[in-house]
Amino acid sequence: GAGVSQTPSNKVTEKGKYVELRCDPISGHTALYWYRQSLGQGPEFLIYFQGTGAADDSGLPNDRFFAVRPEGSVSTLKIQRTERGDSAVYLCASSHYAGGPEAFFGQGTRLTVV
Amino acid sequence: AQRVTQPEKLLSVFKGAPVELKCNYSYSGSPELFWYVQYSRQRLQLLLRHISRESIKGFTADLNKGETSFHLKKPFAQEEDSAMYYCALSALAPGANNLFFGTGTRLTVIP
């Protein structure tokens, strides 16, 4: 594809439900990042993958959040027992390699927990 | 710990006027600094990074380690510059990965 693709673009879910957010990075990019952006804030780092492995998950807020990238391409961010405070725009980015010249961002998934 | 501060949430300037978006940072190691921009209804994209020493769309930014600043400047603002601007920091180290972002400044260029 032409760029990083995220689906769905919008997701409304009830408190306590489980959600999955998908990221399809630019082909050939080995590094993939997830960020969360709350209203009025800048993007906040969640987790980073190099290939299939999570190289740094220090930004995940708690164990309700989990992410996978089983084949080193598409990644899924999973949130269990969603809370209203999880409402935010979840951004995915990819780059050729860790610390590469440019991270390309997707358009984001707006998650609303009601 | 690293921190990026953008003191202005909103900034308005007239077309043709100079513009400066402020960014200050704190980081104990050697940082790499970036400016990202998000135009209306578009995705976040890289504007420039300090190690490239480029001028993009007329914008420049100089890293001042003494003042720990990386202010973004343009001598003559254009209407198409209206957007949300984020300053970001990354560790300048092998394998460095994630970005730390400021809270952003919304620039409005008045025709």
**Domain B3-110 bears CATH identifier 2.60.40.10:** yes
Nearest to A33 among B46, B49, B98 (CB): B98
| Contact yes or no for A41 and B94 at CB 8 A | no
The 10s digit of each residue's pLDDT in A54-109 is 888 999 999 999 999 999 999 999 999 999 999 999 999 999 876 666 889 999 99
Distances (CA, A) of A97 to A58, A112, B33, B82: 19, 32, 18, 31
Domain ranges within chain A, ordered by starting residue: 5-98
Residue A82 C-beta-side C-alpha neighbours within 13 Å: 21
Q: Is the pLDDT of residue B88 over 60?
A: yes
Nearest CA in chain A to B104: A42
Structure token pair of residue A64: 């309700």
Average pLDDT over residues B54-81: 94
User: Other C-beta atoms within 10 Å of A90: how many?
Assistant: 23
Q: Which of B44, B50, B84, B90 to mutate: most A Cβ within 10 Å?
A: B44
Q: How far is CA A86 from the centre of its chain?
A: 13
Domain ranges within chain B, ordered by starting residue: 3-110
Q: Which of A102, A109, A110 to mutate: most B Cβ within 10 Å?
A: A102
CATH class of the domain whose range is A5-98: mainly beta
Asked if the peptide bond before residue A8 counts as cis, ω within 30 degrees of 0, the response is yes
- When comparing pLDDT for B110 and A28, which is higher? B110
